[in-house]
Amino acid sequence: MKYLTIIFSVLLFVSCASIQVFSDFDSSVDFSQYKTYAFFKPQIDKVDISDLDKRRILKAIDLEFSSKGLSKSETPDLLIGFSTRAKEKIYINNMNSFGWGWGWGFNPWFWGAPNTNTVSTRTEGTLYINVIDGVSKQLIWQGKGRGGIHENMKDRDERIALFVQEIIGNYPPNTTESL
């Protein structure tokens, strides 16, 4: 039983740490033409998260796009926006134990060890990063990252930076691959 609890704890920790990433893009767009970007303030202002988290996300996006060779500009080729969503997930874990013979103590109807049920909750956050053409104002790429978040995380900067890094890792899209 002790080993089962340890294995379950490790699996829960690994599942909380993982980030699922998806992206979609306009296949008719030549992404190599884009060299500059700016943040799309009207979209960012609508996001209902703390200003501290907004700054963390903007800083991480800035770092990732700079590392891809794009530079900030007052007359950008791309506008970058983002949005967020959070959902509370409830997990019910049932640990069945089986035994042989007549139960514990003097109760003949109680067979084996008791079943254990645990209920836990986790907030799953989704971050959408939107890349918009600066001229046509059309969405040309969208990345989405989904994973566990905690309201009072000590390593919020690192967790948000990891979310952004994983999402922007898919930009620019590899248009030579078949879908």
Tell me whether residue 117 is in a domain. Answer: no
Residue 19 near residue 147, CB atoms below 8 Å: yes
Q: Which pTM was predicted?
A: 0.72
Cα separation, 133 vs 57, whole angstroms: 20
Tell me whether residue 47 is in a domain. Answer: yes
Tell me whether residue 101 is in a domain. Answer: no
CATH code, domain carrying 149: 3.30.160.670
Question: Based on the structure, what is the number of domains in the chain?
Answer: 1
Within the chain, strands assigned E span 19-25, 36-39, 71-72, 78-95, 116-133, 139-149
Strands 71-72 and 78-95: unpaired
Tell me whether residue 155 is in a domain. Answer: yes
Tell me whether residue 37 is in a domain. Answer: yes
The parent domain of residue 45 ranges over 20-88+124-168
Please list the pLDDT of the chain residue by residue as tens digits (179 residues).
444 333 333 334 444 458 999 999 999 999 999 999 999 999 999 999 889 999 999 999 999 999 999 999 999 999 999 999 988 778 777 766 555 545 455 555 555 556 677 887 777 889 999 999 999 999 999 999 998 877 666 788 898 999 999 999 999 988 665 44
Tell me whether residue 32 is in a domain. Answer: yes
Tell me whether residue 33 is in a domain. Answer: yes
Residue whose entry in the numeric block shows the structure tokens 């800083």 = 59
Tell me whether residue 157 is in a domain. Answer: yes
